[in-house]
Amino acid sequence: MDLGISSSLLGGIGLFLLGMFLMSNGLRLATGRNLQNILESWTRTTARGILTGITITSLVQSSSAVTVTTLGFVNAGLIQLKQAITVIYGSNIGTTMTAWLVALIGFHIDIKLFALPAIGIGMAMRLLWNNQRLGAFGEAMAGFGVFFLGIEILKTGFEGMGGSIQFANLEPSGAGLLLLLGSGFMMTVLMQSSSASMAIILTAAGGNVIPLPAAAAMIIGANVGTTSTALLAVIGATANAKRVAAAHVCFNLLAGLVAVLILPWMLAAVQLAQTQLGYATEIPIVLALFHSLFNILGVILLWPLTDTLVNFLKQRFRSSDEDKAKPRHLDQTLLGTPVLAFQALGLELQRIADIGRKLAKGAISAELGPGGQLLSDRYIQNRLVIAAGEYCTALQKTKLPTELAEALPNAIRVGRYYTAVAHLAEHFANQQHRHYSIPETTLMDEISHFKSNVVQLIDDANAELEHYSSETCSIALARLQDDYQSLKTKLLRAGTEERIKTTELVIQLEQMSQLRRLAEQIEKGARYLASFQACSPAEPLEEQEHISTNE
């Protein structure tokens, strides 16, 4: 191969990738939080999720970006598994927009007439409106121009190659098929962009370097290769994010397998449709249409199976946190015996309280910030609180005795107080690493003493203990309130007398306030839990179940 042609191809690929980066990055910056809002609000049904995936991917011109963003939202719990999977379906159709841009614009318009002005105008906007939405749009416009400038250079390079490359002699069958699929796959893995692979394949096919059947097989491989981005993105992620990545792999593998099996018929159908449109000699148009059909085929195959796929994936990649977050006592069958369901709810609320106290004590001792265990416990508690709230709603619809029905709101209060405990605990742990040393040992001793008293109240505010007394805990809390006011006064005095730095004063005041509020929420949660449990029947749950069964 001529050195000049090799340089043109390398430069064209580089410009294309640079254009893709500028275009997708600029559009993401310009849309800001709109991308998150769309994903959160417009994915409630399968059809809307698919349309959302198509739209966003078409706009940002990067299925990898949409996939990674979707995985991030699932990881953070902002969208559910089924919503994410439908977005993945749509993104695979949306990514075909790149092929259509290359086929319709890259081969029909004098690229330099709009690419160079787009680069100039776009960069001018980027410089004039830096860090603003217009500047981000300018960056996207410049990327659009660079993108097509790379296409132009690739076209020129491939046209000069003629039949010197061995792909021209390969047919998509046997070992040749495997080589073509593997080539497309590796191109996407190496460049981390199926759009880049698609542009190279289309321009090579348009330059008669790769025959149509071979290019179609490479497109299938390139599409499967995009799963590498999802697999890399979920390393160390939550179980739900891993399930979305697995769905992404399933989608591409299944559609790819079917496309390979019916490749001759698909090519014939595409060529027939393309001929009817009047582009009988233009291979890029055929390949763009083939790429769209291939991805639409995947959606058609998996759309009816989405619920089955979701249920299957929920049984995979299970984490210990998910198992712990599953309620142990909230049995739906107990709703037929409301008294037993009430008692089961009390047992689950006790679990929530235990985790809340563990979170509070863990935060106080977490001097380096919130560790993995604290975040794990908060996730578990949050899931249990949601489950307890749903169980309360179901229990309200049963025929509860009057005294139990009147006590049911206390269950909601318990969940709310311990949710506040978890929030305060995480916030307090986040601030622990900002702590500076206070030179005055007397003041440090008082702070340590205050923390010890908070920990003692946390231990005592346990409704499960035989010696638990809401009155004793209330008195201890009142004493803590007085200690807090005294400590606050001493800290302020030390700050005004410049015995401690202002930054340390602010941090300590905020931390002591959070500890006081933490103690308040712990005491209230225990008091309402004790009140709720006091209404529960005296017989143990197991005995009640036995009596109910015999009756």
Q: What is the CATH number of the domain that holds 484?
A: 1.20.58.220
Do both 138 and 226 map to the same domain? yes
Spell out the alpha helix ranges (H) of 303-371.
306-314, 320-324, 338-365
Of 251, 286, 314, which residue is a domain's last?
Answer: 314
Residue by residue, pLDDT tens for the chain (551 residues) are 455 555 666 776 677 667 666 765 665 666 555 555 666 666 667 788 888 888 877 776 666 667 766 776 676 556 778 888 888 888 888 888 877 877 777 655 555 666 778 888 888 888 888 767 777 778 878 877 776 677 667 656 655 554 445 555 666 677 778 888 888 888 877 766 677 777 788 877 877 778 888 888 888 888 888 887 777 766 666 677 788 888 888 888 887 887 888 788 876 776 676 566 655 557 788 888 888 887 888 888 888 888 888 888 877 776 655 667 778 888 787 787 888 888 888 888 999 999 999 888 888 876 545 556 777 788 888 888 988 888 888 888 888 788 888 888 898 999 999 999 988 888 888 777 655 566 677 888 888 888 899 999 999 999 888 888 989 999 999 999 999 999 889 888 888 888 888 888 888 888 889 899 999 999 999 999 998 888 866 544 443 443 333 33
95-121 residues labelled b (16+ CB within 10 A) or e (exposed): bbbbbbbbbeebbeeebeeebeebbee
Q: Could you tell me how far CA 345 lies from the centroid of its own chain?
A: 31
* Structural domain contains residue 481: yes
DSSP assignment letter at 330: -
Do both 251 and 272 map to the same domain? yes
Residue among 242, 194, 235 nearest 92 (CA)? 194
CA-to-CA dists, residue 304 to 93, 267, 297, 300, 301, angstroms: 17, 25, 12, 8, 7
Do both 309 and 397 map to the same domain? no
Of 257, 284, 314, which residue is a domain's last?
Answer: 314
* Structural domain contains residue 242: yes
* Structural domain contains residue 274: yes
Do both 301 and 345 map to the same domain? no
DSSP H/E element including 544: helix 541-550
Do both 517 and 385 map to the same domain? yes
* Structural domain contains residue 319: no
| Residues 391, 335: Cα–Cα separation, whole Å | 9
Of 288, 314, 340, which residue is a domain's last?
Answer: 314
* Structural domain contains residue 144: yes
Do both 450 and 543 map to the same domain? yes
Do both 435 and 483 map to the same domain? yes
Count of structural domains, the chain: 2
| Residues 418, 548: Cα–Cα separation, whole Å | 33
* Structural domain contains residue 203: yes
Do both 349 and 229 map to the same domain? no
Do both 406 and 458 map to the same domain? yes
Do both 248 and 328 map to the same domain? no
Claim: this prediction has a pTM higher than 0.85: no
Do both 276 and 328 map to the same domain? no
Do both 74 and 129 map to the same domain? yes
The residue segments making up the domain with residue 161 are 3-314
